[in-house]
Chain A
Amino acid sequence: MSDGAAKMEIARPAGGGGHGKFISTMKRVSRYRGLYLILLPGLVFFAVFSYGPMYGIIMAFKSFNMKLGIWGSPWISPFYENFRLIFINPEFTAAFGNTLIISFMKTVIGFPVPIVLAIVINELANKRFSRVIQTVYTFPHFLSWIILAGIVANLLGSDGVVNNFLTLMGGKPANFLMNAGAFRWLLVVTDIWKESGWSTIMYLATIASIDVSQYESATIDGASRWQKAMYITLPGLSMMIVILLTLAIGNSMNSNFDQIFNLYNPATFSTGDVLDTYIYRLLSKTGLGYSFMTAVGLFKGVINFVLLMSANQITKRINGTGKSIFY
């Protein structure tokens, strides 16, 4: 297997690993030229569309002027001036806070739902019923938030069925969509509505990989259904739970743009505006300047990077194998 190990190594520049090594690497490069050709379109894609825009990040350290271009614009002094400006901006700090609060609420309330659903579905004896249930639970995952927000607005609007029902019961109609206090709850609930079914499938797939003999011997020992769920199924899911929880926390800077953007309105900005929606709205509001906008984006990008990398490291450690779930 020494050949295989050698193949895994990265090509070293000449001199680094000796002349012979360089020659053999070049030989391998030429042997695999067909594969490089296959890789090329993908590399070009990432170079252009992922790395290309990164050049613009330097705008965060400049006083950007459209006429002068990115390179020609003067550097700002001190270099962190744009970041100082974003931190004294009340809209930014509100959006930053909202991002954290909304992610926290979604994680605490929404996260356990698919675990419960998966455990209950797993207990079903009727296979056909189980399949129908899974279809119903998962299909909203594939619908756009534009469609779902339209349906939510129809349901909860002032003349929607929920308000009509409240009125009939003698209650007062409430405008849920314009209510800043209720908006975050609306996000949590609609997120569960759309995504909990899809995550349920993920847990079900993990349950399917639990060793069946554990259930068999537990049954022979007289374990109840509840005991089996608590002492076999749940522990079997624990690794997946911890990994997905870590990932959810790592993703807390990415509140769902599509969801919030399609559901919020000026009446709910105070509780619903998150970094992503704030950055988008800055695009059409040029008063604060492009450098400011870039700085907000970079700030979010860096925090997000740190969170995701930490989550990645932690999941690697939990896995025990030292393997990231990403690669």
Chain B
Amino acid sequence: MAATNGYTQAAGPKPSRAFRRGAVGRKGADIPMIAMVVFLSAWALIILFPFYNAVLISFAPQRVYIRTPLLVYPIEPTLDAYRFVFKWPSLATGLRNTSFILVVGTTYNVLLTALTAYALTKPIPGRKFFRLMILFTMFFGGGLFPYYLFINSTIHLGNTIWAMILPTGISIMDLLIMQSYYETLPEEIAESARIDGAGELKTLFRIVLPMCKPMLATITLYCAVARWNEWWYGMLFERSTDNYPMMLFLRNMLAETRAVTANIPISQRELVFSKGIQMAAIIVTMAPIVCVYPFLQKYFVKGITLGGVKG
């Protein structure tokens, strides 16, 4: 900070930021500021440490793990655990199913949300009723067993991959975020398209949705993350492991190491470091989110600034 007191800065062209940050009238680094930075960094380290520990173990050979109770840096790193995970047949099956759920499911989510939200922002007769009917489902549900019975016995989705896709169509939070975004758009643009004779669908897809790209990106990301993390519907409705999503395989593997080592001959089992494999599987399944997140963070955060309430 070049300024030494509040007045010289306040006279500058853009004073507000400096004021907001409370940096005015102080030297660049004062004691409270250092204390805050230390506090925030320590908090960040606490958040990161469990992940770091998992990464270390995923690269550690079993003998190192047993020998060094406090592994704080990599010793004799090995890729054995990752080799095992990539050859683990369940990962391939799970990844295939999860990818399908992600692509088809996210498209279904975003399309359904964008369409419904659009119609609900227009003055169509009955809109209040439709809005209320939809909101009611956020406050009240039929409970787990009626739901389970309905999906399995009434509409017969049980044990098909669609049981993990169709029931989660619209998140009401996303719907409300989308509605409030549509309401910020100038009405004249859609109006002029209508005068030009374009139908409602055409207006929506050609004119309105292209203006909503940032918001669509946000909702797509929310849905894609939820789809990547899918396991609950799989656990409820899939009886055949052929349909299991990746996270469900991971869950079973974490719950039961035997599931990992079952197809290894007993004589070789000692060589397999089950904890390392578990951590490697965790790292592999969380890697896409962790890699993408820092770059797309602004889209993730947009939902909060627009929606207000947590998603």
Q: Which residues of A contact B (CB under 8 A)?
A: 4, 7-11, 25, 28-29, 32, 34-39, 41-43, 45-46, 48-57, 59, 70, 117, 120-126, 129, 133-140, 142-144, 146-147, 149-155, 159, 161, 164-165, 167-168, 193, 197-199, 201-202, 205, 212, 215-216, 219-220, 225-226, 228-229, 244, 247, 258, 262, 279-280, 282-283, 290, 293-294, 296-298, 300-302, 304-305, 308-309, 312, 325-327
Contacts and interface: CB of A to CB of B under 8 A. Distances in A.
B29 to A, nearest CB: 9
Interface in B275-311: 275, 278-279, 282, 285-286, 289-290, 293-294, 297, 300-301, 304-305, 308-310
| Nearest 7 CB-CB pairings of A with B | A297-B143, A56-B146, A42-B116, A34-B200, A164-B69, A39-B119, A7-B123
Contacts of A151: 50-51, 53-54, 279, 282
Interface string B98-112: 000000000000011
Given A142-B300, A146-B250, A42 B112 contact: yes
Nearest to A165: B70
B40 interface: yes
| A contacts with B: majority SS | helix
Given A124-B36, A146-B231, A297-B145, A220 B282 contact: no
A139 B289 contact: yes
Given A146-B247, A219-B24, A155 B40 contact: no
B91 to A, nearest CB: 14
B119 A10 contact: no
B146 A59 contact: yes
A294 B143 CA distance: 7
A53 B3 CA distance: 65
Contacts of B70: 161, 164-165, 168
A17 to B, nearest CB: 12
Contact of A55 (B146, B294, B310): B146
Most chain A beta carbons < 10 A, residue from B15, B204, B297: B297
B176 interface: yes
A262 B251 contact: yes
Contact of A46 (B28, B133, B297): B133
Q: How large is the interface on B (under 10, 10 to 19, 20 to 34, 35 or more residues)?
A: 35 or more
A154 B278 contact: yes
A86 B227 CA distance: 35
Interface in B31-47: 32-33, 36-37, 39-41, 43-44, 46-47
11 contacts: A38-B201, A42-B134, A49-B166, A53-B150, A53-B151, A122-B21, A123-B33, A125-B22, A301-B142, A326-B138, A326-B172
Contacts of A8: 123, 127-128
Contacts of B41: 133
A147 B143 contact: no
Q: Which one of B130, B139, B200 has the highest number of Cβ atoms from chain A below 10 Å of its Cβ?
A: B139
